[in-house]
């Protein structure tokens, strides 16, 4: 599925469609260059799920945890991961297989540890405010 996003105002709607596209799948991997809009899209997704607390990229840890209306949300940013064993050490599997939503930035850093099924979202920057989201079920 392709989701064109002409401006940041359209993100909320795209986020809704992305959750619907996911269906039962709760693990979402976000690919895209630095500044493409992974965190910003995850903010909209969290809003859709009824998260009221601030959503920012985890800086001191690898994962942030939020409470949504009917679900918990785990937000990972693996950018600073030095090697995949760090992910093993932080117990990434417990989060992935917890049945809660998992939104993952920089999944390429854990390429060997990816779960068997997930939603892959690629964010392509078309213009300063315009993005193309390419979404696939893996
Ligand atoms: N349609 C859009 N979707 C997402 N972000 C947008 C859009 N239009 C403009 N932006 C801006 O692009 C920037 C995206 O930054 P963001 O931190 O979300 O990127 P990121 O992919 O998470 O980067 P990083 O790899 O550093 O984590 C923000 O400043 C945001 O306001
Ligand atoms: Mg980010």
Ligand 1 residue neighbourhood (C-beta within 6 Å)? 5, 7-8, 11, 32, 34-41, 57, 105, 129, 131
Structural domain spans, the chain: 2-137
Provide the β-strand partners of residue 133: 3, 123
Taking every pair of Cα atoms in the chain, the longest distance, rounded to a whole number of angstroms, is 40
Atom of ligand 1 nearest to the CA of 77: 27
Q: Say which residues have a Cβ less than 8 Å from residue 57's Cβ, sequence separation at least 6.
A: 39, 64, 75, 77, 105
pTM value > 0.95: yes
2-137: CATH number: 3.40.50.300
Q: Which of 36, 106, 132 to mutate to test the pocket of ligand 1 (most atoms within 8 A of CB)?
A: 36
- In this predicted model, what pLDDT tens digit does every residue of 107-128 receive, in sequence order? 999 999 999 999 999 999 999 9
Chain CA centroid to CA 43, Å: 9
Number of Cβ within 10 Å of residue 2's Cβ equals 9
- In this predicted model, what pLDDT tens digit does every residue of 59-79 receive, in sequence order? 778 999 999 999 999 999 999
């Amino acid at each position: 599925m392709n989701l064109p996003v002409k401006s940041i105002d359209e993100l909320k709607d795209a986020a809704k469609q992305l959750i619907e596209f996911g269906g039962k799948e709760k693990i979402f991997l976000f690919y895209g260059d630095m500044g493409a809009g992974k965190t910003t899209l995850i903010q909209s997704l969290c809003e859709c799920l009824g998260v009221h607390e601030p959503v920012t990229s985890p800086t001191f840890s690898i994962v942030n945890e939020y409470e949504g209306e009917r679900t918990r949300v785990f937000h990972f940013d693996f950018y600073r991961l030095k090697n995949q064993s760090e992910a093993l050490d932080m117990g990434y599997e417990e989060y992935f297989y917890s049945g809660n939503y998992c939104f993952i930035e920089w999944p390429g850093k854990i390429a060997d540890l990816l779960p068997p099924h997930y939603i892959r979202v690629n964010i392509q920057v078309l213009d300063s405010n315009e993005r193309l989201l390419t979404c696939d079920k893996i």
